[in-house]
């Protein structure tokens, strides 16, 4: 494991620690208090997102590296950034935090199976990689659950300190994600243009499709506008850092990280559109 891969793993640990600083036990209790909204959100993130990704890969006919990268991204949970975008868009921030927490727990067990499916589906027999599912679950547990738990422990023991640290850690998380993407882009600069041609359109299509389907499914379930916006954001704003980490530290192939990196850039622009819509519409409708 090279220095860059170690830095990436540490960066993800810092980001997940920051998420833990904003979580309290009520965020998990809320899962049972708002079951319909939580179920709609989780179905979108855990079931529909990988299916939509696979359908788009089939339509666009992308190469193996991009296809696997897209599936890795689709397997990962929503990112902590989704909580901030939801808040700015006047969505249901409590629902957003609860979905991010629940999804992060569940995807520890689902990521290895989605990734294994992608490898089997898109690699030739000669290129096939076998992943140890138990080892992968353990690795994701270490870089997700342990730092989140430590953050939650600090939040419970010293809430004032946790609240004080929450904003700087969130800013640091955003900076880290940006630096990770820039570092990856610089490392792959020779292949960037062809990769962007391959991954840019499918990343944009995946982002828009998941956000729209998230919003529409929430409205069909008769959820409020703020809840519908939240599920839209949670469906489309993925944990790009985790996807890049899975590609680089578990699959040991940085080419699989290109699609998540490009997606991470695109989602900030579409997130901005949702923020503008939410700020304009939520107060008028509720």
pTM over 0.85, yes/no: no
Q: Is 239 exposed, middle or buried (0-12, 13-18, 19+ CB in 10 A)?
A: buried
Residue 54: per-residue pLDDT? 95
Q: DSSP for 116-157, please give it.
A: HHHHHHHS-GGG-----HHHHHHHHHHHHHHHHHHHHHHHHH
Residue 77: per-residue pLDDT? 83
Torsion, Cα of 113, 198, 12, 276 (10° steps): -110
Residue 2: per-residue pLDDT? 56
Residue 169: per-residue pLDDT? 74
Residue 57: per-residue pLDDT? 94
Distance CA 30, CA 24 (A): 10
Q: Half-sphere exposure (CA, 13 Å, Cβ side) for 62?
A: 30
Q: What share of the chain is helix, strand, coil (3-state, %, to 5)?
A: 85, 0, 15
Residuewise pLDDT in 10s, the chain (286 residues): 555 566 667 777 777 777 777 777 776 676 677 788 899 999 999 999 999 999 999 999 888 889 999 999 999 887 777 877 887 888 887 788 888 888 888 888 888 899 989 998 988 755 666 677 778 788 777 777 788 888 888 888 888 888 787 777 767 766 776 776 676 666 666 666 777 777 889 999 999 999 999 999 999 999 988 889 989 999 998 888 888 888 888 888 888 888 888 888 888 888 888 888 888 876 655 5
Residue 3: per-residue pLDDT? 58
From 183, 201, 237, select the one nearest 41 (Cα to Cα). Answer: 237
Spatial CB neighbours of 184, under 8 Å, sequence gap ≥ 6:
244, 254, 257, 258, 261
Residue 247: per-residue pLDDT? 86
From 189, 193, 192, 173, select the one nearest 241 (Cα to Cα). Answer: 173
Q: Are 184 and 197 in contact (CB under 8 A)?
A: no
Candidates 3.40.50.1820, 3.40.50.1370, 1.20.1530.20, 3.30.230.80; correct CATH number of 3-279?
A: 1.20.1530.20
Q: Residue ranges of the domains in the chain?
A: 3-279
**Which residues share a beta bridge with 78?**
238
Distance CA 272, CA 85 (A): 8
Residue 31: per-residue pLDDT? 67
């Amino acid at each position: 494991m090279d220095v860059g891969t170690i830095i990436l793993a540490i960066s993800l640990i810092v980001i997940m620690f920051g998420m833990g600083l904003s979580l309290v036990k009520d965020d998990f209790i809320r899962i049972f208090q708002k079951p319909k909204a939580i179920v709609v959100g989780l179905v979108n993130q855990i079931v529909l997102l990988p299916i939509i990704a696979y359908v788009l890969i089939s339509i666009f006919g992308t190469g193996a590296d991009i296809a696997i990268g897209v599936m890795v991204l689709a397997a990962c949970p929503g990112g902590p950034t989704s909580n901030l975008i939801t808040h700015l868009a006047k969505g249901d921030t409590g629902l957003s935090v609860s979905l991010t927490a629940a999804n992060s727990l569940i995807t520890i067990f689902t990521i290895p199976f989605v990734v294994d499916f992608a490898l089997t589906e898109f690699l030739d027999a000669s290129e096939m990689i076998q992943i140890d599912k138990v080892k992968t679950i353990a690795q994701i547990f270490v870089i997700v659950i342990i730092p989140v738990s430590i953050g939650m422990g600090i939040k419970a023991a010293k809430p004032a300190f946790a609240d004080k640290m929450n904003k700087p850690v969130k800013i640091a998380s955003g900076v880290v994600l940006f630096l990770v993407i820039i570092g990856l882009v610089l490392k792959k600069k020779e292949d960037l243009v062809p990769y962007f041609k391959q991954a840019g359109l499918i990343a944009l299509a995946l982002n828009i499709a998941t956000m729209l389907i998230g919003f529409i499914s929430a409205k069909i379930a008769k959820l409020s506008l703020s809840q519908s916006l939240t599920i839209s954001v949670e469906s489309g704003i993925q944990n790009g850092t985790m996807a890049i980490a899975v590609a680089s530290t578990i699959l040991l192939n940085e080419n699989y990280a290109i699609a998540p990196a490009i997606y991470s850039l695109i989602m900030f622009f579409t997130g901005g559109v949702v923020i503008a819509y939410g700020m304009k519409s939520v107060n008028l409708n509720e």
